[in-house]
């Protein structure tokens, strides 16, 4: 942190980033035609260099649920993703988690358990 910038800029040499990203907010799914996901930008909060990883996994019809079954759908992308996978079987589905990152650091998938058990995006 550089005190000359108010003590809150993590990289004075990079004008496109100023703080570690926060937890992603506003994750929305629209299935009107295909499965389209969007979430809130962190350009104003962390800097326009901030990009996003998106992971997903199966929601089986039973009580078993695991973040370790995740697949990276997008690495270092923007605030939208079009999921081209086939629709899940009846009574099943997919879960989605997004995480922000930039040269100052990586945000969270929402909890330390999720961060530790979710397969990382390259």
- Place 6 in a pLDDT band, splitting at 50, 70 and 90: low
Predicted pLDDT at 3: 45
| pLDDT for 26 | 98
pLDDT for position 65 = 75
Whole-prediction pTM value?
Answer: 0.86
Which of 5 and 79 is assigned the larger pLDDT?
79
Which domains, from first to last, does the chain contain?
16-117 (2.60.40.10)
Q: Around Cβ 46, how many Cβ atoms within 10 Å?
A: 23
pLDDT digits (tens, 9 = 90+) for 27-55: 999 988 889 999 999 999 999 999 999 99
Whole-number Å distance between alpha carbons of 35 and 82: 6
What pLDDT is recorded for position 37?
97
Residue-wise pLDDT tens digits, 57-104? 988 776 777 888 899 999 999 999 999 999 888 888 899 999 999 999
DSSP per-residue letters across 41-103 = --HHHH-TT-EEEEEEEEE-SSS---GGG-EEEEEEE-SEEEE-SPPPPTT-EEEEEEEEEET
What residues pair up with 74 in beta bridges, in sequence order?
54
Question: What integer pLDDT is reported at residue 2 of this predicted model?
Answer: 43
Q: Residue 69: what pLDDT?
A: 85
């Amino acid at each position: 942190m550089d005190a000359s910038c108010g003590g809150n800029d993590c990289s004075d040499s990079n004008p496109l980033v100023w703080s570690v990203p926060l937890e992603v907010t506003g994750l929305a799914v629209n299935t009107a035609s295909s499965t389209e996901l969007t979430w809130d930008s962190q350009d104003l909060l962390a800097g326009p260099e901030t990009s996003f990883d998106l992971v997903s996994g199966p929601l089986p019809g039973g009580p078993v649920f695991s973040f370790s079954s995740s697949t990276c759908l997008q690495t270092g992308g923007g605030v939208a993703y079009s999921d081209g996978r086939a629709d899940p079987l009846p009574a099943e589905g997919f879960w989605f988690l997004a995480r922000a990152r930039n040269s100052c650091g990586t945000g969270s998938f929402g909890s330390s358990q999720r961060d530790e058990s979710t397969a990382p995006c390259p």
